[in-house]
Amino acid sequence: MLLDGGDPDGNGSANRAQGNDARGDDALLGAAMAALADGIGVLAAVRDDTGAIRDFEWLTANRAAERLFGHPLAGRRLRADDLQDGEGAGLFAGLTDCLTEKQTVRRLVIAPGGARWRIAATPLDPASVGSGRAAPTVCVSLVELGAEVPVVPESHRAHRAKAEFLAHMSHELRTPLNAVLGFSEVLLAETFGPLGSPRYRSYAADIHASGTHLLSLIDGILDLSQSETARTDMQEEAINVADAARQALAQMGDKAAARGVDIGEDLSAELPLLYGDARALQRMLTNLLSNAVKFTPSGGQVMVSASPMPDGGIGLMVADTGAGIAEDELARVLEPFGRADMAVPRGAAGAGIGLPVVKRLMEMHGGRLDLYSEPGAGTTAILMFPPRRSLPHTHTGARA
């Protein structure tokens, strides 16, 4: 006896079994694709009226492939201009070549952001995909290799080695030099009793002065070497420029008073905050003020001013009434150890490091150092920070 809907030949049961097997195979294949770490997807070619491949449509893709693209892929189109590198050998070209040549194609393509993908595209029989399409179909695997590491030229490696050597030697020289300065100060103070002959005190003063000059030179070399290497990491934060300028002026006050140089300020109340490296800003201000005071004779003036620029940036200026520099020597003083030929006050000769350090620190901030000078009329140095370095005063956490 047969129940209603029964199958006397047993064909229905066989068909259901085959259907269950097919669904099981599909589920197993889907689970395998999902578990793969590499991106896997299947795309069908979309042709135009002339028969040329216009686009590719994603039929399916695993999660790894979708992570590479940043969004779900099924049903989306891959356009002809997607993921092309400089030579046009992108993903679209690789898929097209795969179908044209009817064989597996392997390529390296450049993805957005500079990452490199290794792709392997293999043509498929449309019937085996089960999509109901007659269009040519291709299976592609994608492996992310990361951004390409640039080749460092030999000249750059030599430059870095020189800079790191200077940095190391500068640190090594500071330890004995600090001892020399410390003991000369003990002699000058006559801490353990009178030195005897006045000449001893004069010699101790010369030792201290020479040691101080050498320490300044070493500090300059250290800053210069650090600015030449990628090891100099900028610690960027919001900086109150007016407070930073006043701090630098206060540190230079005693030196200026000893030389008989008057220092002043003209700092706009409308200055935005500066987003930059506070230590670098202090170093730039210290170098510029030190040069200005050093090369300005007694009775001269040094002025620090700052104001917002028309383009939204910040201009920070240090001007003096000192010896000045000839126009044809301005480029020289911006090079390491470059010094101008000019009449300078006694003991004012520099090592030619301060301005190059300022120039490089400004370049690190994306700005520039403008230098204007005239012999006998003084020098004006302007730090020009770009608009992207300006922050409103509503920003919290500003420091001098």
pLDDT band per the 50, 70, 90 thresholds, residue 177: confident
Higher pLDDT, 375 or 234: 375
Mean pLDDT of 6-18: 50
Mean pLDDT of 347-374: 81
pLDDT of 84 reads 46
The CA R_g of the chain, rounded to the nearest whole Å, is 36
Buried b (16+ CB within 10 A) or exposed e, 325-359: beeebbebbbebeebbebebbeebebbbbbbbbbb
DSSP secondary structure letters along 240-298: -HHHHHHHHHHHHHHHHHHHT-EEEEEE-TTPPEEEEEHHHHHHHHHHHHHHHHHTS-T
CA angle, residues 129, 131, 135, in degrees to nearest 5: 85
**Contact between 399 and 238 (Cβ < 8 Å):** yes
| Burial of 222: CB neighbours in 10 Å, binned 0-12, 13-18, 19+ | buried
pLDDT of 193 reads 85
d(CA 160, CA 144): 31
Please report where in the chains the tokens 């994603």 appear, as a residue: 58
pLDDT in tens, 326-353: 888 777 877 766 666 554 544 545 566 7
pLDDT band per the 50, 70, 90 thresholds, residue 81: low
Q: Which of 33-37, 87-91, 211-215, 377-381 has the highest mean pLDDT?
A: 377-381
DSSP secondary structure letters along 289-355: HHHHHHTS-TT-EEEEEEEE-TTS-EEEEEEE-SS---GGGHHHHTSTT--------TT----S-HH
For residue 133, the SS3 value is: coil
pLDDT of 130 reads 57
pLDDT of 320 reads 92
**Contact between 271 and 390 (Cβ < 8 Å):** no
Mean pLDDT of 182-197: 87
Mean pLDDT value across the chain? 78
Mean pLDDT of 4-31: 52
pLDDT in tens, 242-300: 999 999 999 998 889 989 999 999 998 889 999 999 988 998 999 999 989 988 998 99
What is the CA 101 to chain-centroid distance, rounded?
Answer: 44
Mean pLDDT of 104-131: 76
List Cβ neighbours of 59 (8 Å cut-off, separation of 6 or more). Answer: 41, 42, 43, 44, 74, 129, 131, 137
Nearest CA among 223, 165, 164 for reference residue 357: 223
pLDDT(383) > 60: yes
pLDDT of 209 reads 86
d(CA 262, CA 297): 10
Higher pLDDT, 89 or 335: 335
pLDDT of 168 reads 73
Q: What proportion of the chain, given as a percentage, has pLDDT over 90?
A: 19
What is the CA 399 to chain-centroid distance, rounded?
Answer: 22
pLDDT(231) > 70: no
d(CA 249, CA 255): 10
Token output for 269 = 């109340």
pTM over 0.85: no
d(CA 165, CA 228): 12
pLDDT(316) > 80: yes
Question: Can you name the residues that pair with 378 across neighbouring β-strands?
Answer: 374
pLDDT(126) > 80: no
Question: Can you name the residues that pair with 109 across neighbouring β-strands?
Answer: 117
